[in-house]
Structure 1
């Protein structure tokens, strides 16, 4: 009897132990499962996806089969969706607009034009730098070394002048560009031998003719909401808005009334020999370089600041090789036809990188720039012709 009772008690104890062990294991498995689920939720919580070429954050919610946390998930998803849209809009606003360029020697013996494009010029700096895209055309005269040096250096000077400014006011844009042009002018004059040597210049060293070398400069800084243009010389910037041409710069010709007055006030003369020329030599009243014509020829640029609108079509920068043969309105009309896809592509397929990084070349803009250079040549332009076309149409 005792053995029977004892056996039953042992059986009951074993059964209780097995049940307790099974319960512990079950609880342990449930605990591990819960921890694993939380871990998975953290691991997949934030990721990235390429949405239309824009890197965006994507939040993934882990939910169990019973639908726990649906209210929290819905509220959080709304916040994430809003942040995602804001982030995409911010990235798009800072993206470099599509552009195309063409630069040809034409009927000249030497090529003295240079073009510079630097997308997102300040984006690689510390976060307090303003974000803008730099486009410029430089038209040299006398020789090519001043224009080439401007291409290599002027954008860096602009970048230095704007460094440390998170928000730039209109007057600050103007002052920064004026200081940049003045520094560029000083460098090509005081360090002319080094500049000539670096460019592999055909001028003899030393030579009086090296003082008669200079370059125009038309520079456009494109921000998400503004177009800042600095012009020195007779290259030009023209904005196409709703198909209408709006000049953003005015050529510096010696017979322009205000320029004529300035030259005469400084003791100089404008002599008409195959057109108006400073001292009968230079056919423009402002340029970088040309030390022998100081102070009559100045490097101080005129700066215009234009607010961008949704009606903007494109911005055209070009040397006078184009503008001497093609009117502002005709140039904007040709560019508009290309942007609308109404002109058969003439440029070779493929893309080129903008200096400063990134693929921003656009076939329609390339066609527009090439067609404009060909139009100038057909109309018997005897000068170098350089054209940059920048698409300002908003993405849909």
Structure 2
């Protein structure tokens, strides 16, 4: 009896241990369960190994896609990575703001005014413009800026030769990938008029007295005329987190962005406004500012900062004096303030701001 009892107890104990091992193996993930089954001598479920390998491959592929190929969902310039969870899990959601790189924007910054001067000299536009009325001069300026922006776009895309290190390239290459581009806004301030050209969703606002005057209209795909032009060219405007060209780019004109041509064009819109005595300043800024601030608020801030700088710095020089253009410290202080204010308001887009002081201010000897 004792021997039988011992044998029965031993068999029950072995069965319990075996069942415990199987239950323990069933509680762990599939990949570990297969390893436990092989090590312990228990047979894993049929198909576990293949499913484990497929899931691991999918996880690795998803992680690689999130790290190396982020979505081009938003349209605008730098990469912003969301904060990783506390658990240390890999970040899989990346967000693009306007552009994948700054090559096109930097090229426009360095070359547009140079190309504009070349176009004016080549076509003798300076002599032809002369002293003519506002309505008569708009069409020539549209031709000038149109040629200028088109030439810059051709140079960016590698279709036209350009100077590099003092020599003209025979076989130019694109300066950036086909999905990199930039907006462009230009202002020419004369003694009698302000001439502006805009391509994209940047904006020019004239602060006249207490009233802001928008000198440009943002090129958005949901504009009736822009949408008609895009659809006539065979493109589509899709509402994907906002209206976008082909569901990708939330602007209808730009320089670069070869992958969306011919739906995107580099042709600017030109406006000419006569200057007035109560013109305070001119604000040129990208949509990172206008997304979080109205035209009225931006003009108030710029006007106040310029006046505050001259009040605190009585040695400020005449902003219109001198033959060579110099940086106006009062206008720079206003631009810096607008950038900081846009950041504090949570702007997630590119923020580029230029302020031009239009007032003729004289030096002051004493405090006012």
Distance in 1, matches of 2:280 and 2:311, equals: 19
Match of 2:266 among 299, 310, 321: 299
The answer on whether the counterparts of 1:217 and 1:288 sit within 8 Å (CA) in structure 2 is yes
Asked if 1:177 corresponds to 2:140, the answer is no
What's the Cα RMSD here?
A: 3.5
User: What is the count of residue pairs matched by the alignment?
Assistant: 251
Secondary structure of the equivalent of 2:127?
coil
Asked if 1:166 corresponds to 2:124, the answer is no
Q: Which residue number in structure 2 is paired with residue 157 of structure 1?
A: 115
The answer on whether the counterparts of 2:181 and 2:255 sit within 8 Å (CA) in structure 1 is yes
Q: Which residue number in structure 2 is paired with residue 385 of structure 1?
A: 351
Secondary structure of the equivalent of 1:339?
helix
The answer on whether the counterparts of 1:310 and 1:394 sit within 8 Å (CA) in structure 2 is no
Asked if 1:254 corresponds to 2:221, the answer is yes
Q: Which residue number in structure 2 is paired with residue 148 of structure 1?
A: 106
- Judging by fraction of residues, say which structure has more strand: 1
Instruction: List runs of 5+ in structure 1 lacking aligned partners.
Output: 1-106, 111-138, 199-205, 352-356
The answer on whether the counterparts of 2:155 and 2:161 sit within 8 Å (CA) in structure 1 is no
Distance in 2, matches of 1:365 and 1:143, equals: 28
Match of 2:194 among 217, 220, 227: 227
Distance in 1, matches of 2:158 and 2:264, equals: 16
Closer/same/farther in 2, CA of residues 244 and 259 from structure 1, 3 Å limit: same
Closer/same/farther in 2, CA of residues 192 and 157 from structure 1, 3 Å limit: closer
The answer on whether the counterparts of 2:186 and 2:198 sit within 8 Å (CA) in structure 1 is yes
Distance in 2, matches of 1:281 and 1:336, equals: 37
Q: Which residue number in structure 1 is paired with residue 334 of structure 2?
A: 368
Aligned structure 1 segments of 4 or more residues deviating by more than 3 angstroms: 107-110, 191-195, 342-345
Deviations 1:150-205 (A, max 9, x none): 1222111111121232351332212101110111111111259989x99xxxxxxx
Distance in 1, matches of 2:310 and 2:78, equals: 28
Distance in 2, matches of 1:178 and 1:384, equals: 25
Secondary structure of the equivalent of 1:210?
coil
Structural mapping, 1:1-396, within 5 Å: 108-109=78-79, 141-163=99-121, 164=124, 165-168=126-129, 169-191=137-159, 210-341=177-308, 358=324, 360-395=326-361
Q: TM-score, normalised by structure 1?
A: 0.57
Shift of 1:350: 10
